[in-house]
Amino acid sequence: MARWKLAYHANCWGPLGGDAVGVTSISRLGYRTFGDMDRAARDIAEAGYDGIELFDGNVLDGEADGFASLRRTLGDTGLSLVAVYSGANFVFPDVLPEELHRIARAADAARALGAEHLVVGGGARRFDGTRDADYDALAAGLDRVVEIARARGLAAHYHPHLSTIVETPEEARRIFARTGIGFCPDTAHLAAAGGDPAAMVREHADRISYVHLKGWRREPFAFTPVGTGDCDNAAVIRALGDIGYAGWICNELDAWPDPADGARQSRAFVEREMAALRSR
């Protein structure tokens, strides 16, 4: 088994949210960690990771100085920017061009900073219920994301997410039957929606070229470091080995009292499981 490269998402170093101006300007409605991304990068590098993933809002902040500050942070820490995470509603035709414009800006930034992957979540659940046509609209939007990514030399991935119309294993089958985008499994979200993440990795093996590992606790609900809680990430790692996965694994944790400690815990667990896999 080839040694996988490990990255960490910077979303744990502050409250998660979006740009408030996005309420009245859809093209500005990006994800954001309200925290010090330079500090996050230093902590992630010190925890032993080789790469970092950032939200689109944090990356697009770098447009102001031509990404000079972000380049300096990456250079100082030795980290690779592996992926940029974005998202959209995708099911409302009138605002889709605005959403795709923002995703294209994020993809431009990703390319400028040497990233390999563009990850998107989304597919809005309407207040009055999901319509069958929403899956067709989501699939069409995701195919546009593939085009945006491909034009910039990036690999595009869809990330099923709680609160969207793609949470459960059946909803995942429904969307992946309609679109050619890659599948970025987030193990905690899949488990919390009632899925078996290891089984889903095996089922969609030919669609997976980027992975999010995250822990999840059922009661009280919380996301936790990889290897803790009720999500069997050891089984997921074995499944990735069984399908011959090669590429980046990004550990992730939405909130934790000590973000650097969460990063270290998650990396130590994955390293142990990788060693166990190699010794089989």
Are residues 52 and 29 in contact, defined by beta-carbon separation less than 8 angstroms? no
Grade residue 280 by pLDDT with cuts at 50, 70 and 90.
confident
What's residue 3's pLDDT?
73
* Burial (CB count within 10 angstroms: exposed 0-12, middle 13-18, buried 19+), residue 97: exposed
Distance from C-alpha of 102 to C-alpha of 226, rounded to nearest angstrom: 31
What would the pLDDT profile of 59-70 be if each residue is shown by its tens digit? 999 999 999 999
Residue 150 pLDDT: 98
pLDDT at position 264, please? Answer: 98
* Residues 16-38: b if buried by 16+ CB within 10 A, e if exposed: eebbeebeeebbbbbbbbebebb
Instruction: Give me the domains of the chain, ranges plus CATH numbers.
Output: 5-278 (3.20.20.150)
18-24: long-range contacts, CB 8 A cutoff, minimum separation 24: 18/57, 19/57
Is the model's pLDDT at 186 over the cut of 80? Answer: yes
Strand order in the sheet with 80-88: 182-183, 155-158, 117-122, 80-88, 51-55, 5-9, 248-251, 211-213
Residue 157, H or E segment: strand 155-158
Q: Residues 196-231: pLDDT tens digits? A: 999 999 999 999 999 999 999 999 999 999 999 999
State the pLDDT at residue 1. Answer: 54
Q: What is the mean pLDDT of residues 164-193?
A: 98
Rounded to two decimals, what is the model's pTM? 0.97
Q: Residue 262 corresponds to which amino acid?
A: G
- What is the distance between the alpha carbons of residues 82 and 193, in angstroms, rounded to a whole number? 27
**Sequence letter at residue 173:** R
